[in-house]
Structure 1
Amino acid sequence: MTTPFTHLASACVIAATAALPAIAQTSTVTDSRIAHSQDRVAGDSALDERLAQDWGLQAEDWARYRRLMQGPLGVHSPNLDPLTALGIEARTEDERRRYAELQVQVEALRVEKLLAYQRAYDAAWKRLFPTLQPVMPASAGGFVAASGVPSRLAVFVKDDCPPCEQRVRQLQAAGTAFDLYLVGSRQNDAQIRQWAAKAGIDPAKVRARTITLNHDSGRWLSLGLQGALPVTVREVDGQWQHW
C-alpha cells in the first residue's frame, strides 16, 4: 500500500540524486581554484627566490624589501633598487655596510658588462658601417659616471639652434673630447647625423669616439639643470655642473 509518506520519501531521493552532479561540479571547481592558487603562490615564491639571488640577498632581505616598497619609501621612490632601499632603511651600521658592499659589487659587474657590450658594439659598427658616423645606443654614453666610470664633457643641443652649432665647433676646435646629446631627436639616427654634419663634426673623431653622438632620451630633464640650450656639463664630485 502506497502512502503520502512513501511519495514524499521518493521525491526526496529523486531530488537528492538530481543535486549530486551540481555538488560534484562545485567541488571540482573549488578544488581547481585551490590548486591554481597554490601553483601561483609556489610560482611567486620561486620568482622571489631567483630575484633575491640576482641581488645577492637572502629570502628575508627580499621579503623586507617588498614590505618597504609597500610603505612610504615605495610611494616617494617607487623605482628604488633593492640594495638602495634596504641600505636607506638599514637598522644597524653593519646592515648598512653590508648592503653598500653588495651594491658596489653589483654595480662593478654591471659596468663591466656595459663596457664589454660597448666594445662589441664598436667592433660591429666598424665592421658593418666603416664609413658611417656611429650613434651610441641609448644605454651607453657618458652617463655611466655614477657607477664609478669617469664621465666626460656632456653637451646638450637641439635642432635649429645656431648657438648650439657654434658651441660644438668651439669644443671641437679646442680638441675637447665630449659626448653630444641631441634633445628631441626621437631616436632618429638620421636626424642626429644630419645635425652633426651641419655642425661640422669630424667623422674621424666620431669613429675614434673622441666625440660621441647620442640621443638625449630624457637625460636632459633627468639632470634638472636650468638654462637654454646649448648646455655643457661635467660631473664633479657626484654632481652635474655647468662647464
Structure 2
Amino acid sequence: MSAALLATVAGLALLDALNPATIAGVALLLLAPMAHPVRAAAGFVTGAYLTVLALGAVVYAGADTAAEAAGNGLVWVRRIAFTIAAVALAVAGLRRLRDRIRPAVTVPRWVTPLTAGLLGLVMTGADLPNAFPYVIAIERIVGADIGTGRSLAVIAGYALVYCLPCLLLLVAGAARGDRVRRRLGRLYERLGAEKKQPRSVPLAAGYLAAAGAVLTVAVLA
C-alpha cells in the first residue's frame, strides 16, 4: 500500500467531507428540543459512517468485478459518477430560474436518540449519488490492487474522514452545548429557516456552467 494512494484517498475524502447534508443533520439534532440531543447526534453520525462504509464496500466489489471483466470497466464507473453529479448541478441551476420558497429544514417527528441512526442512513444515502470523489477514490483503490482486506480498511478510513466534520461538531456540542447551540441557532436562521429565494439568472448560469464542465469530464474520462 503506497503513501501516494493513501494521500490521494485522504484528499478525496476531505473534499467529500464538506457535505452539507450530514453536517446539517448533526447541527439540527443538536438544536432539536429533545432530552438527549448529543446522543441523537452521535447516533446520526454512526448511521452516516456505516452507510458510507457499506456502500463503499458494495461499489468496490462491483468495480473490482468490472475491472476483471473488462479493462475499461472502471472508466464507466467514473463516467456514471460524474454524469450523476452533472445532472444534480443542472437541476439546481434550473430551480434558480424561478422564484421559490425554500422550506424550513426540520427534524422528523420520529427521530429520537434511538432512531437517529436511521436518519443518518437516509440523509447520507440520499446524498451519496453526488459524492463522485468517493467513486474516484474506489477506482484508485481497485487500480492499486492491494487486496480485499486492505482495500476495505482504506474504505473504512475514507468513511471516517468523511464523517470528520460531523465528529468535530459532535464533540463541540458535547463539550460546550449551550454555546454551540447559540451559534448554530444563528446559522440556522440564515441557512435552514424558511426563506424566499428570488430568481437568479447569474446563479443559474453558474450551476449550469459547472454542470457542463463536469459532464465534459465525464465524457472525456
Q: TM-score, normalised by structure 1?
A: 0.26
Identify which of structures 1 and 2 has the higher relative contact order when contacts are C-alpha pairs closer than 8 Å and 6+ apart.
2
Larger Rg: 1
More helix, by proportion: 2
More strand, by proportion: 1
